[in-house]
Amino acid sequence: MEKTNMGKRAHCLVLTYPAQGHINPLLQFSKLLERQGVRITLVTTRFFCNNLQTVPPSIALETISDGFDKGGPREAGDYKLYLKRFWEVGPLTFAELLEKLGRSKDEHVDCVVYDSFFSWALDVAKRFGVVGAAYLTQNMTVNSIYYHVHLGNLQSPLTQDEISFPALPTLHLQDMPSFFFNEDLGFLDFVVSQFSNIDKADWILCNTFYELDKEIADWIVKVWPKFKTIGPNIPSFFLDKQYEDDQDYGVTQFKSEECMEWLDDKPKGSVVYVSFGSMASFGEDQMEEIAFCLRECSSYFLWVVRDSEETKLPKDFEKKTEKGLVVKWCSQLKVLAHEAVGCFVTHCGWNSTLETLCLGVPTVAIPYWSDQQTNAKLISDVWKTGIRALVDEKKVVQRETLKHCIQEIMEGCEEMKTNAIQWRTLAVRALSEGGSSYENVKEFANQIYEIHKLHVLK
Q: Which residues are catalytic?
A: 22, 115
Is residue 20 a contact residue for ligand UDP (CB under 6 A)?
Answer: yes
Find the angle CA(394)-CA(400)-CA(403) to the nearest 5 degrees: 120
Is residue 350 a contact residue for ligand UDP (CB under 6 A)?
Answer: yes
C-beta atoms surrounding 170 within 10 Å? 11
Q: How far is the CB of 365 from ligand UDP (least distance, A)?
A: 12
Task: Please give the Cα distance from 148 to 143 (Å, whole number).
Answer: 9
| 125 Cβ contact list (under 8 Å, min separation 6) | 98, 112, 114, 131, 132
Question: Which residue of 16, 44, 45, 275 would you call a contact of ligand UDP, by CB under 6 A?
Answer: 275
Residue 110 or 213 having the CB closest to ligand UDP: 213
- By CB under 6 A, which span of 56-64, 154-162, 276-284, 393-401 interacts with ligand UDP? 276-284
Residue 18 or 37 having the CB closest to ligand UDP: 18
Task: Please give the Cα distance from 178 to 181 (Å, whole number).
Answer: 6
- By CB under 6 A, which span of 15-23, 33-41, 168-176, 205-213 interacts with ligand UDP? 15-23
- By CB under 6 A, which span of 19-27, 102-110, 112-120, 188-196 interacts with ligand UDP? 19-27
Of the candidates 373, 412, 407, the residue with the CA atom closest to the CA atom of residue 391: 373
Residue 21 or 169 having the CB closest to ligand UDP: 21
User: DSSP character for 174?
Assistant: G
Q: How far is the CB of 52 from ligand UDP (least distance, A)?
A: 13
Contact letters for ligand UDP, residues 180-219 (x by CB under 6 A):
----------------------------------------
Site for ligand UDP in 358-417 (CB under 6 A): none
Q: How far is the CB of 252 from ligand UDP (least distance, A)?
A: 7
- By CB under 6 A, which span of 54-62, 73-81, 149-157, 327-335 interacts with ligand UDP? 327-335
- Number of residues located near ligand UDP, criterion CB under 6 A: 20
Residue 57: cis peptide before it, omega within 30 degrees of 0: no
Sign of CA dihedral 416, 421, 425, 428: positive
Contact assessment for residue 438 and residue 430, using Cβ atoms and an 8 Å cutoff: yes
Site for ligand UDP in 62-101 (CB under 6 A): none
Side chain identity, residue 455: H
Task: Please give the Cα distance from 161 to 44 (Å, whole number).
Answer: 40
Is residue 329 a contact residue for ligand UDP (CB under 6 A)?
Answer: yes
| Strand, coil or helix: 184 | coil
CA 385 from chain center: how many Å? Answer: 18
Sign of CA dihedral 18, 19, 22, 27: positive
Residue 165 or 254 having the CB closest to ligand UDP: 254
| Strand, coil or helix: 58 | coil
The binding site for ligand UDP (CB under 6 A) comprises: 19-21, 24, 275, 277-280, 304, 329-333, 349-352, 355
